[in-house]
Amino acid sequence: MGGGMSSGRHSSLERWRLRGELDPALRRGAWAAIPVGACLVLQLTADDGVAGALATGALLAGLIAFEAPARVRARFQLLVAPVMGVAAAVGVLSSGSAVVAVVTMVVVAGLAGCCVAVSPRLTVAAAMCALSLLIAQGLYLGPDEAPDALLLATAGAALQGLWSLVAWAVFDRASEPLSFGRAARAGWLKLRAGLGPGSPSLRHALRFGAALGAGVAVYRLLDFRDHGYWVPLTILFVLRPGFDDTLERIAMRGLGTIAGLVAATALAELLGGQPVLIALVLTAAAALAFALLAIEYALFTTAITVYVVLLADGLGSPALDAVDERGLGTALGIAIAALSLLVLSERRPSAVLP
C-alpha cells in the first residue's frame, strides 16, 4: 500500500513539472511578444485604443501553433486571423442582449470544442477565436463598433503572423512537411469520425459550449460587469476533454491566479503608473505566457493573470481595487467547470493536448 501511495504522489508531482524544454520556448516567446509589446507602448503612452486592439489580436494569435516552425506557424496565424476578427465582431454585436450573448457563446464554444477531434493545433486556434468573442462581449461595445472590432482583431492576429514570417526569413528555417490541402481533407475525416454519438470529442464539445454559456449567463445575471469576463475566461482555459486533465487544470488555475493577482498587485504599486515600465513588464509577461502554456500551466496562469491585471491597471482600473472581483470571477469559473465534469463525463485516460 505504501508503495502504491508513493507511486501516486510521484505521478501527481510529475504532472506539475515542465513538460518541455524551457530555453527554446522562452526564446520563441520573447520573439512573439515583440509585436504585442510595441502595440502596448503605443496604447499606454498615447492612449491609443487601436494599438490596444491590435495588441490583443497579436497576443491571442501568438498562442496559435506556438511550437511549430516559424513558416508553419505563420500560415496558421494568417489563416485564423480573419476568423478571429469575425469572432470579435460577432462578440460586439451579441453583447447588447444577455440571451443573445449566451446563445452565441454556446454555439461558438461548442463548435470550437469539436476541434479536439482533429488536432491540438486546431484546438488552440479555435479556442483563441472563442476567446476573441468572449473578450469582445465583455467590453459592452455598441453595434457601430463591430466593423472596427473585425478589422482590428484581424489586423492584430495578422501582425503576429507576419512577425512569424520575419522569424522564418531571419533565423527559423526549420521545416515541417505540411500540405494544407491534404491536412484539410484529413481533418474533415477526423472530425466526422470523432464526433459520432457518444464520442468523447462530441461530449467535450457539448460540455465546453454549455459551460462557457453558463459562465456568460452567471456574470450577466450577477451584473458582474467590469470583470465578469473572468468567469468564462477561467472556464475556457481549464475545461479539457479528459476528466483528470480538467481536475489538474482547476488546481493549477487556482494557484496560478492567486500567485498572479498577488504579483500583479505588488508590481502595480511598484511601477506607480509609469506607462513605459508597465509596457515592458507586460511584454515580459506575454513572453512567459507564450512559452509556458504547453509546458507548465500553473506558471502560464500566473503570467497571463499578471498581464491582464497590469494592463487594466495601466488603463485606469487599479489592481488593488479589482482584486476581489477577479478572484470571485475565477472562483465562479472554476465552480462551473467542476460542475460540468458531472455532465457527460467519463473517468478514462485523458488525451494529451496542450
User: pLDDT tens digit string along 257-291?
Assistant: 889 989 998 998 899 888 889 999 999 999 999 99
Average pLDDT of the chain, as a whole number: 87
Residue 16 to residue 325: CA distance in whole angstroms: 27
Secondary structure class of 3 (helix, strand, coil)? helix
CB 156 within 8 A of CB 58: yes
Q: What is the pTM of this model?
A: 0.89
Judge residue 17's burial from the number of C-beta atoms within 10 Å of its C-beta, 0-12 exposed, 13-18 middle, 19 or more buried: exposed
Residue 117 to residue 327: CA distance in whole angstroms: 33
Residue 48 to residue 131: CA distance in whole angstroms: 22
Span 96-153, pLDDT tens digits:
999 999 999 999 999 999 999 899 999 999 999 999 999 999 989 999 999 999 999 9
What pLDDT sits at residue 61?
97
Mean pLDDT of 63-74: 94
What's the pLDDT band for 339 if we cut at 50, 70, 90? very high
Residue 348 to residue 154: CA distance in whole angstroms: 38
Span 197-245, pLDDT tens digits:
878 889 999 999 999 999 999 999 998 877 889 999 999 999 988 888 8
More confident of the two residues 47 and 327: 327
Res. 10: pLDDT tops 60: no
Res. 351: pLDDT tops 60: no
Res. 292: pLDDT tops 70: yes
